[in-house]
Amino acid sequence: MSFLVLYLFCLTFTAIVADDEPTFIYPDTFNDAERDSFYYGTFPEDFLWSTATASYQIEGAWNVDGKGPSIWDTFTHEPGNIDNAHNGDDACDSYHKYQDDVNAMKALGLKYYRFSISWSRVLPNGTIDHINQPGIDYYNNLIDALKEADISPMVTLYHWDLPQALQDKGGWKNDEIIEHFADYSRLCFETFGDRVGFWITFNEPWVFTVMGHEYGSMAPGLIEPGTTPYIVAHNLLRSHAKAYHIYDDSYRATQKGQIGITLNSDYYQASDVDDPDTVEAAERAQQFVMGWFANPVYYGDYPDVMKTTIAEKSEKQGFNASRLPEFTEAEKLSLAGSSDFFGFNCYTTSYARPIKNTATPLVPPSWSTDQDVFSWKSPDWPTSGSDWLRPVPWGARRLLNWIKKKYGNPVIYITENGISTNDTFNVNDQIRIDYYSAYLSEVLKAIELDEVNVKGYTAWSLMDNFEWARGYTERFGLHYVDFNSQEKTRVPKDSATFYAKVIADNGFPSSGVQSSLVNGGVKVLVLAVAFVFGMK
Ligand code: PNW
């Protein structure tokens, strides 16, 4: 007893005399000692460190060796869709320079690499009728080069580049796509699965559903708000479940991998936490972005709040059924529990408040007005090269906790996290080091203090690449790429050196050698004293 009291007293004393002042990464904006202090420590021993890319953003070789066109080839070649009329025709030319990518990863000390397969490179018209062998060879070579470097692949089946031939048949609006996606998935499991431990069916369904089919700012560029996005999401979720079960039934036993889905969302922070309506609006926004996909995948159906609001509005708008489709009982069963892990792409935070104006015309319908939420970013928050992305580290921890709470404490892999800069040559990217430090510190707090089950972290991106509608004007890379050069050399930025050290140290072991020595020394001393007294 006396030992315990003395020990606790000594620990408190140690903390008072030896602990550092809190460190803030964004001292001007986020300086609440409780919320924003940098958290030193190391990640769990088997923590998985990775970086990510996506086929259309890096491969180039858009019409080489039998590859069929994808909706992104079509979209970028139409004038007016992409800043500076950029396109991914050449991008980082990873189709030819994949060994350079692997070398860059090796230098980082990476153990995992997340990339995506271009569906129309392996199946040029989207269907299993014609397999393009050079496309298969490319991914086999990449996977083998990774294995050779002791790097495990984490493969995304769909990172937005649908074969144009399937878009011509209605794309995700046509439920025949479910069978085509099943064939494509089976081919990938069969061909590459002996060497792939992690499969991700879809990357960020929310982005390509809403940006691609409601706003039209991404391929396929459809502006069909309020109906098409829900149908697209519905077919995609059914495709996901089908692919999951193909893997589960036919490949898991022999290949011993895992399969899941990757979702993204801002964290929606109620702008007034004392107002229940505002708190409810923030929750509604979270459900309309993340719950839309996660709820079916974990529980077999859309969130109640979506089902009721969309049904109500649809009726008032004169639709004879809800614009939100319904799953059959069999589909619900096949969806529920169809992810071995929660893939989470983590970037930013928004404030949210309700739109209470009932005079708002209910027509035309849209996903964004269905929510009755107004969301925005504080102008006080730090900026990035992208207008939608402001660093708000504490939002990441809150959203991780939200996922834990809503979906039964799932295993979470952060499958993307990163920040953009604008297009000026700058390998001295302190902004990226700050962002990664601050976000990683929040992830560590989530693991250690909140017991959120995060098992891996992926930096977006290995290198600068084609940033969708922004072309090459926004750069997310740990490596700089000169897109005007033939060589497209991957030049490490300061953030690459930083990330390599984080990986080598498995985190941020201490706030500095000196203070840890002081801390350690004092602790040994007081323990010794406590022990001696405790014996008496
Ligand atoms: C993700 N938003 O896209 C994608 O998975 C990557 O391909 C992309 O390059 C990266 O993040 C950076 O943009 C997002 O508006 C695009 O919230 C837009 C949003 C989020 C993610």
Helical packing angle, 292-299 and 228-250, nearest 10°:
30
pLDDT reported for residue 19: 53
φ/ψ of 177, rounded to 5, equals -60, -25
For the chain, 536 residues long, give each residue's pLDDT as a single digit of tens: 444 444 444 444 444 334 568 999 999 999 999 999 999 999 999 999 999 999 999 999 999 999 999 999 999 999 999 999 999 999 999 999 999 999 999 999 999 999 999 999 999 999 999 999 999 999 999 999 999 999 999 999 999 999 999 999 999 999 999 999 999 999 999 999 999 999 999 999 999 999 999 999 999 999 999 999 999 999 999 999 999 999 999 999 999 999 999 999 999 999 999 999 999 999 999 999 999 999 999 999 999 999 999 999 999 999 999 999 999 999 999 999 999 999 999 999 999 999 986 655 566 899 999 999 999 999 999 999 999 999 999 999 999 999 999 999 999 999 999 999 997 778 999 999 999 999 999 999 999 999 999 999 999 999 999 999 999 999 999 999 999 999 999 999 999 999 999 999 999 998 753 333 334 444 444 445 445 454 44
pLDDT reported for residue 320: 96
For residue 372 and ligand 1, the question of a CB distance below 6 A is answered with no
Beta strands in 120-187 (DSSP E): 152-158
Residue 347 CA to ligand 1 centre (angstroms): 8
CA dihedral 277, 283, 286, 290 (to 10 degrees): -140
Q: Are 419 and 466 in contact (CB under 8 A)?
A: no
* 98 Rama sector, left if φ>0, alpha if ψ -120 to 50, beta otherwise: alpha
Q: Which of 204, 283, 442, 467 is catalytic?
A: 204
Task: Determine which residue's CA is closest to atom 9 belonging to ligand 1.
Answer: 467
Tell me if residue 204 is catalytic: yes
Task: Determine which residue's CA is closest to atom 4 belonging to ligand 1.
Answer: 204
Domain locations along the chain: 1-40+511-536, 43-264+339-346+383-508
Choose the CATH number for 43-264+339-346+383-508 among 2.40.400.10, 3.40.50.300, 3.40.50.620, 3.20.20.80: 3.20.20.80
Helical packing angle, 494-505 and 94-108, nearest 10°:
50
Sign (positive/negative) of CA torsion 81, 82, 88, 90? positive
The CA distance from 58 to 163, in Å, is: 17
Residue 374, classified by CB atoms within 10 Å of its CB into exposed (0-12), middle (13-18) or buried (19+), is middle
Tell me if residue 148 is catalytic: no
From residue 285, alpha-carbon distances to 57, 68, 86, 200, 503 in Å are 29, 38, 33, 25, 34
For residue 341 and ligand 1, the question of a CB distance below 6 A is answered with no
The CA distance from 66 to 138, in Å, is: 12
- pTM, to two decimals: 0.92
For residue 476 and ligand 1, the question of a CB distance below 6 A is answered with yes
Q: Are 115 and 155 in contact (CB under 8 A)?
A: yes
pLDDT reported for residue 18: 42
For residue 375 and ligand 1, the question of a CB distance below 6 A is answered with no
CB atoms within 10 A of CB 219: 28
For residue 100 and ligand 1, the question of a CB distance below 6 A is answered with no
pLDDT reported for residue 363: 65
Residue 207 CA to ligand 1 centre (angstroms): 7
